[in-house]
């Protein structure tokens, strides 16, 4: 089935009437908003309704969790990412999203809109106007106010009813009689699901009678006494519903002092977090490496922190996180902990960039992807407080973001950081290189040329200053030069001082990439050849050298020097296999597939295309998958297999649409694709080709990819 919805919470109870109301509203209205107070179960109801309705939408149901945003700047990028739009197009942010949804019949769920109500309303109105087949299901504490909106107000579970008691039973893992402490707890907590879950956690620890008595003591107090521990409550909860505030405050009071401190500090995480990140960000004072794991376990037992998922990541519900943020503010630590959070993720980004070249590449690529929300949060913090740090962070992760298809976020962060930061040197050169790559992938060749030239200038400036500094450092007070053994050195080789370093190599690789994509293979060959001839070291010595050698291989292919290109590619691929390097290896498989086509060996081309597709699928790179499917379709067409060529080509078109742009690639491949496709269209007949093509285009892209890989293995 198309789409992506999170797994349902197994603790869902009741809501049969509400589900019918939402389902009926979705059948008649294009915008349905479920409203209600925090903790009442809006997300659960929307998720259950979306799962039930998904089969009615040919293009699927798609989920967007807006709690990870603290501003509207990346709203469109997040929604685009949630519908698998790896938007590579320039221009207005909403244009690609509108184009992606224009011809589809799908359900888009926007969860937790309240803190972005106005921008969500604007975006929804624009999308509904552009996409006639779109239906939006939103959750928010108040309506969005868009014309045609149908509002379904969600109340708590009936406090004395069967469903509230059943929820408490399931959450506590015990069977309670309706008459007794459990029933009184449900009434005290007014049937609010989140409040009942917090109470259930305490029942597991203390028993139902103790929990009932504690709630009685707390809730029988005057309202002013109940909530005196919480400052500025109206920033988080509506005034009409204080019961949930009281329940969360009660859980807070029952937490141990270290658990309360950790709760507050964990509120800086906007996405899932692991123990290592929690430790790095939250230790300080009485919370240290020895005490933090116990405090975290206590918060999990109390249902303040959700248990770890299969990857060991934990999270807090937004309502509970907001409570913790209020307490963090009261302690005066908000800025300090936010800075630690930003420093931690800046460090994580730098380690990922440092270890990109080697056996840990795939692990760090996936780590950057898993921590995407908090890397973005850290970037936003640094853009406000430390632009030089922001430039360092985004320069470290932008290439990985671009590989993953997050081109808008990469470009936005790079352009902001480059504008705000005055830093010169390696950090700036690296960011300019990443910006240039991002612009090339977006097809923005004019701005990419400007970025390429700026990158080359910054690289020369940096490496020249580093050589001067090294030379000055190697001189004694009397001007005598000293070698590594601290004795007087002989005359240095002037050529060593002028050899290009990795910054210049990357600048050349960027210039070569731009030349290749604009049909100038000779220019690409000259620019990378010049620096490679002057540089010391082999292709596996650094990521920059490897990238330059990769560009040279593609340039040789474009120049028709196929045997030389193939031999160099095979040598580089063997080096990548030794390094366990994935990205360059995948690109080399693409080149080898193209060489096979040009040499008239479609079977070899298909094998290399399959290897490329396996690699790009592992990297989650939609653009790479689209390019690989084009090569495979061309190889199948060249072999005369018209039906499979049509099937793979239709799947490729689906992936191209997920990038938000029309088919493109290296000029040589486009010409071959058109040539062989015309041949097989004629051989099997235009109607048959179109039928297979359209069936693949409108089917599940992942199924089409699986089919292409499975069938190509048989060939």
Query: Strands of 31-35's sheet, edge to edge?
Result: 3-4, 61-65, 106-111, 134-140, 31-35, 149-153
Calculate mean pLDDT across residues 351-361.
88
Calculate mean pLDDT across residues 584-596.
93
| pLDDT tens-digit map of 633-649 | 999 999 999 899 999 99
Residue with tokens 């603290």: 70
Q: Give the pLDDT score at 192.
A: 87
The predicted model scores a pTM of 0.84
| pLDDT tens-digit map of 266-279 | 999 998 999 999 99
Q: Is the pLDDT of residue 229 over 80?
A: no
Residue with tokens 């045609």: 148
Integer Cα distance of 198 and 180 in angstroms: 19
* Mean pLDDT score across all residues of the chain: 86
Integer Cα distance of 402 and 383 in angstroms: 20
Q: Give the pLDDT score at 220.
A: 58
Classify residue 459 as left (phi > 0), alpha (psi -120 to 50) or beta: alpha
Q: Out of 75-79, 221-225, 295-299, 650-654, which region has the weakest mean confidence (pLDDT)?
A: 221-225
Q: Out of 89-93, 246-250, 390-394, 557-561, which region has the weakest mean confidence (pLDDT)?
A: 89-93
Q: Give the pLDDT score at 712.
A: 52
| pLDDT tens-digit map of 23-54 | 999 999 999 999 988 888 899 999 999 999 99
Q: For the chain, percent helix, then strand, then coil, each to nearest 5?
A: 65, 5, 30
From 157, 334, 144, 331, select the one nearest 244 (Cα to Cα). 157
Q: How confident is the model at residue 408 (pLDDT cuts 50, 70, 90)?
A: confident
Q: Give the pLDDT score at 291.
A: 96
Integer Cα distance of 293 and 531 in angstroms: 51
Q: Is the pLDDT of residue 101 over 60?
A: yes
| pLDDT tens-digit map of 129-181 | 999 999 999 999 889 999 999 999 988 888 888 888 888 888 888 887 777 88
Q: Report the run of H or E that residue 104 belongs to, with start and end.
A: none
Q: How confident is the model at residue 489 (pLDDT cuts 50, 70, 90)?
A: very low
Q: Give the pLDDT score at 483.
A: 43
Calculate mean pLDDT across residues 198-227.
73
Q: Give the pLDDT score at 667.
A: 62
Q: Out of 7-21, 381-395, 449-463, 552-566, which region has the weakest mean confidence (pLDDT)?
A: 7-21
User: Do 595 and 557 touch, CB atoms closer than 8 A?
Assistant: yes
Q: Is the pLDDT of residue 484 over 50?
A: no
| Higher pLDDT pick, 663 / 602 | 602
Q: Is the pLDDT of residue 615 over 60?
A: yes
What are the distances in angstroms from CA 551 to CA 336, 448, 509, 557, 565? Answer: 45, 16, 6, 10, 11
Q: Give the pLDDT score at 180.
A: 85
Residue 400 CA to chain centroid, in angstroms?
10
Q: How confident is the model at residue 504 (pLDDT cuts 50, 70, 90)?
A: very high
Sign (positive or negative) of CA dihedral 49, 53, 54, 55: positive
Integer Cα distance of 530 and 542 in angstroms: 17
Angle at 210 between CA 209 and CA 215, to 5 degrees: 100
User: Do 100 and 134 touch, CB atoms closer than 8 A?
Assistant: no
Q: Give the pLDDT score at 237.
A: 39
Calculate mean pLDDT across residues 445-467.
94
Q: For 106, phi and psi rounded to 5 degrees? A: -145, 165
3-state secondary structure (DSSP) of residue 106: strand
Both tokens of 694, joined, read 């359209």
Q: Out of 33-42, 422-431, 504-513, 521-530, which region has the weakest mean confidence (pLDDT)?
A: 33-42
Integer Cα distance of 150 and 123 in angstroms: 17
Q: Is the pLDDT of residue 522 over 80?
A: yes
Q: Give the pLDDT score at 14.
A: 84
3-state secondary structure (DSSP) of residue 63: strand
Strand partners, 108: 62, 136
Q: Is the pLDDT of residue 12 over 50?
A: yes
Integer Cα distance of 711 and 277 in angstroms: 43
Q: How confident is the model at residue 680 (pLDDT cuts 50, 70, 90)?
A: confident
| pLDDT tens-digit map of 529-575 | 999 999 888 888 999 999 999 999 999 999 999 999 999 999 999 99
Q: Is the pLDDT of residue 294 over 90?
A: yes
């Amino acid at each position: 089935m198309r789409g992506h919805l999170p797994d349902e919470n197994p603790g869902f109870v009741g809501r049969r009437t509400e589900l019918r109301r939402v389902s009926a509203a979705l059948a008649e209205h294009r915008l349905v908003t479920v409203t209600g107070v925090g903790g009442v179960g809006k997300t659960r109801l929307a998720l259950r309704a979306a799962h039930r309705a998904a089969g009615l939408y040919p293009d699927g149901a798609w989920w967007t969790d807006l709690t990870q945003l603290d501003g509207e700047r990346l709203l469109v990028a997040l929604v685009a990412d949630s519908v698998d739009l790896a938007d590579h197009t320039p221009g207005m942010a909403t244009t690609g999203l509108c184009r992606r949804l224009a011809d589809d019949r799908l359900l888009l769920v926007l969860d937790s809109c309240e803190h972005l109500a106005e921008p969500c309303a604007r975006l929804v109105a624009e999308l509904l106007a552009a996409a006639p087949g779109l239906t939006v299901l939103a959750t928010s504490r108040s309506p969005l106010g868009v014309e045609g909106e149908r509002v379904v107000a969600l109340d708590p579970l009936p406090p004395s009813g069967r469903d509230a008691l059943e929820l408490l039973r399931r959450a506590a893992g015990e069977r309670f009689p309706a008459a007794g402490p459990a029933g009184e707890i449900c009434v005290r907590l007014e049937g609010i699901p989140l409040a009942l879950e917090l109470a259930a956690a305490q029942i597991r620890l203390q028993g139902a009678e103790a929990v009932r008595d504690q709630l009685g003591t707390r809730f029988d107090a005057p309202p002013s006494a109940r909530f005196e521990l919480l400052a500025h409550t109206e920033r988080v909860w509506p005034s009409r519903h204080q019961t949930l505030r009281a329940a969360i405050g009660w859980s807070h009071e029952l937490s141990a002092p270290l658990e309360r401190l950790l709760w507050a500090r964990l509120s800086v995480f906007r996405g899932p977090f692991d123990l290592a990140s929690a430790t790095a960000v939250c230790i300080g004072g009485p919370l240290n490496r020895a005490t933090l794991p116990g405090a975290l376990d206590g918060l999990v037992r109390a249902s303040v922190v959700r248990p770890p998922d299969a990857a060991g990541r934990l999270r807090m519900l937004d309502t509970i996180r907001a409570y913790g943020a209020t307490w963090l503010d009261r302690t005066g630590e908000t800025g300090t902990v936010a800075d630690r959070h930003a420093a931690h993720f800046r460090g994580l980004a730098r380690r990922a960039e440092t270890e990109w070249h080697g056996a840990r590449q795939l692990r760090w690529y996936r780590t950057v992807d898993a921590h995407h929300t908090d890397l973005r949060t850290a970037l936003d913090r640094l853009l406000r407080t430390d632009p030089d740090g922001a430039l360092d962070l985004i320069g470290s992760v932008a290439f990985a973001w671009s590989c993953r298809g997050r081109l808008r976020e990469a470009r936005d962060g790079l352009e902001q950081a480059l504008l705000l930061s005055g830093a010169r040197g390696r950090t700036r050169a690296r960011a300019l290189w990443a910006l240039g790559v991002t612009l090339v992938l977006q097809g923005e060749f004019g701005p990419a040329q400007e970025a390429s030239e700026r990158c080359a200038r910054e690289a020369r400036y940096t490496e020249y200053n580093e050589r001067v500094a090294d030379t000055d450092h190697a001189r004694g007070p009397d001007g005598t030069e000293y070698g590594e053994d601290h004795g007087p050195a002989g005359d240095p080789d002037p050529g060593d001082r002028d050899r290009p370093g990795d910054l210049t190599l990357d600048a050349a690789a960027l210039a070569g990439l731009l030349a290749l994509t604009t049909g100038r293979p000779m220019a690409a060959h000259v620019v990378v050849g010049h620096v490679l001839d002057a540089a010391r070291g082999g292709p596996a010595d650094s990521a920059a050298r490897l990238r330059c050698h990769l560009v040279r291989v593609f340039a040789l292919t474009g120049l028709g020097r196929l045997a030389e290109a193939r031999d160099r590619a095979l040598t580089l691929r063997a080096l990548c296999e030794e390094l366990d390097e994935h990205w360059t290896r995948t690109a080399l498989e693409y080149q080898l597939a193209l060489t096979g086509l040009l040499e008239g060996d479609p079977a070899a081309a298909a094998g290399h295309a399959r290897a490329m597709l396996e690699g790009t699928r592992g990297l989650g790179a939609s653009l790479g998958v689209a390019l690989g499917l084009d090569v495979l379709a061309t190889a199948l067409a060249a072999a005369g297999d018209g039906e499979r060529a049509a099937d793979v080509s239709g799947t490729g078109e689906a992936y191209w649409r997920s990038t938000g742009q029309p088919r493109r690639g290296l000029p040589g491949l486009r010409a071959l694709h058109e040539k062989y496709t015309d041949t097989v269209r004629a051989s099997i007949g235009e109607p048959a080709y179109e039928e297979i093509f359209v069936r693949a285009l409108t089917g599940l892209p992942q199924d089409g990819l699986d089919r292409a890989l499975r069938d190509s293995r048989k060939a």
